[in-house]
Chain A
């Protein structure tokens, strides 16, 4: 029986209730969950923490511009196959020359093609019931990649190259598939249609304070409050690249070693702002804003 109980987050991961519900629904229906949202909203962390918390096996496939279905599902190792199939001749040659050592095929048998199929994360996840499969940043893939997955997603079935072995899973044992995307390119409609879709909102101040607490539980409350004021103020400036959760966490990590009072001072002085602002234009902009009015960065309360 698949793992279909409602999961609401763990000690380290604060899961938005709406996201938890969408994830639960996807698992019950045996469909992949497609998560989109700004960078740093915890898209990738969801399956990682879920698998860890529930003690399930996790397979990760990070997508890149050169990704293709062979890497994702399985490929046939021609090199090994060719080598092994020539080994008898090679060994005979070696014997002729009086060499004692023999080459071995490492228990692979050239007669059985399945020995040379190198399984990718998808094939592994589908052959293990109740595993978790993460396809990270699918928007980075070439256009045809998501389309190539359609068959597998709707039929829960992969066919291995050369050996013809079929890896199939039932709806009940379907791995929990989570796909993340940063919306750098629009995904094909047919692909989206086979997924349960969820868009993660950027967390508001209250939620962010909770997230910070999960990561840096020892941090002084006042420090967090001041830092979040600055953080949300920066986000409102309409910068080219608005700071995200990841960045505020890094910034606070940097502050964690300082005494609270000093840290507040440092934050108000925008020390280490480079952790938050990442482009030259944005730095200039922030500088200009501070130059214009120092009170800009004070908290309104």
Chain B
């Protein structure tokens, strides 16, 4: 059931797999899922693993469960207004409503129903009690959200599914989800004025359910419009705006380990003092190693736009982590020298560079675009020798990925040094590649 869910969510760059389904099933078994809002909440806890995931997740959810696709750059509100799902819901909603609504009100009501969770349903009580037992906090929130809406909103029906088995529920959910997609899905789609249920309408209806709007819909809307959540383009080339995201990716290169070691001299010393009673003396050792060599191609026009961002990135890295960081420059490719200063006037022999400890991590930064005649055997040899000596060695290329196959020299360099795009996501992959190498030996 819902077997296409992992695949569809993965298409949005999220991590979902068969375990997600199993866990979701378990959550249903435990009675965590009663409304469509619950589906959103539960899946969010399982699938979202960092704040950047919330935007794509919300998008995937709307697409999968409500068949409500959101185009890039489109606001949630716009997407809803244009969707068929909403149109169907609206017809039914307005049928039962006693007055006219503006589009905004309708979207609000729609979102409220979609994100209605079982936590919002305070209790199943009779209508009279609701009026008597009023919770002032909740009323305030509802009022603040929309003055035209009545402070108390009542859902007429809340289906109670406790009699149904898990299999039945799952089957039903899948069926209803399918129907949602087709135009003539019949009457039993899961969006209706009786709240939105993942199972369609069924089971015993109970009357008088109190809704204390928490504004889950408000949250969803905020997510879709919020730069912090949505479109931070992790595939965008490094610039001053995403330098911090890149920095966060770079952090992974720090290897830290803490081990407790037997301090032999101290054990002997203390043992002798005790007259031969040797007790192990432990000393803890903390290693934090980060040695980095950065080789930047700063020649030619092709690299000019990126130099500043790259320097900015590594300068930030240096102040933040205060470790060993050395920067050298080259032009297009490396022959037998690299340069110590930006103007490439002071040079250093490649031999000297190779004398560094092999634990150094080496970042090449350059577009690897050069005239084929520059790619001589001596330059290939130099780069090869660097890659051979420093096992943790990557090339970050600012050139857009799609041009790579068309540049001959990039193809050659890629063979010598693992190459990644100079984007936050690319840097993250590069760092990961470096770290796996370090564990292999």
Contacts and interface: CB of A to CB of B under 8 A. Distances in A.
Contact of B30 (A28, A79, A185, A199): A28
Interface residues of A, number: 37
Q: Which residue among B26, B256, B284 has the maximum number of chain A CB atoms within 10 Å of its CB?
A: B256
A68 B117 CA distance: 40
Contacts of B30: 28-29
B412 interface: no
A173 to B, nearest CB: 15
A6 B119 contact: yes
Given A68-B258, A86-B277, A198-B45, A17 B214 contact: yes
B48 A197 contact: yes
Contact of B252 (A68, A78, A186): A186
A144 interface: yes
Given A25-B41, A66-B286, A196 B280 contact: no
Contact of A83 (B27, B258, B259, B279): B279
Given A66-B286, A79-B279, A189 B49 contact: yes
B54 A193 contact: no
Given A17-B214, A83-B279, A144 B45 contact: no
A246 interface: no
B61 to A, nearest CB: 15
A36 interface: yes
Q: Which residue among A17, A24, A198 has the maximum number of chain B CB atoms within 10 Å of its CB?
A: A17
Contacts of B248: 183, 186
B279 A82 contact: yes
A185 B41 contact: no
B32 A66 contact: no
Interface in B19-57: 19, 23, 26-27, 30, 32, 41-42, 45-46, 48-51, 54
Interface string B370-393: 000000000000000000000000
B255 A143 contact: yes
A67 interface: yes
Main secondary structure of the interface of B (DSSP, over half): mixed
Contacts of B279: 78-79, 82-83
B256 A65 contact: yes
Given A17-B214, A66-B286, A193-B19, A25 B255 contact: no
Interface residues of B, number: 38
A26 interface: yes
A78 B278 CA distance: 11
A189 to B, nearest CB: 7
Interface string B287-322: 010000000000000000000000000000000000
Nearest to A186: B252
Nearest to A194: B19
Interface string A195-237: 0111100000010000000000000000000000000000000
A22 interface: yes
B206 interface: no
Contacts of A198: 45
A25 B26 CA distance: 11
A115 B279 CA distance: 18
B219 interface: yes
B257 interface: yes
Interface in A125-144: 142-144
Nearest to A31: B23
A192 B49 contact: yes
Interface string A98-113: 0000000000000000
B27 A29 contact: yes
A108 B208 CA distance: 64
Contacts of B278: 82
B92 to A, nearest CB: 28
B82 interface: no
Contacts of B27: 25, 28-29
A128 B43 CA distance: 30
A199 B23 contact: no
A196 B32 contact: no
B260 interface: yes
A25 to B, nearest CB: 6
Interface string A4-30: 001000000000011011101110110
A36 B51 contact: yes
Nearest to A198: B45
B143 to A, nearest CB: 12
Given A22-B45, A189-B49, A67 B258 contact: yes
B269 interface: no
B437 interface: no
Contact of B54 (A28, A144, A199): A199
Given A21-B41, A29-B23, A199 B258 contact: no
B251 interface: yes
A103 to B, nearest CB: 12
B15 interface: yes
Given A26-B45, A86-B277, A193-B19, A143 B257 contact: yes
Contacts of A193: 15, 19, 49
Given A18-B219, A78-B279, A144-B257, 7 more contacts: A21-B41, A29-B23, A65-B258, A82-B280, A83-B279, A193-B15, A196-B46
Interface of A: 6, 17-18, 20-22, 24-26, 28-29, 36, 65-68, 70, 78-79, 82-83, 86, 142-144, 183-186, 189, 192-193, 196-199, 206
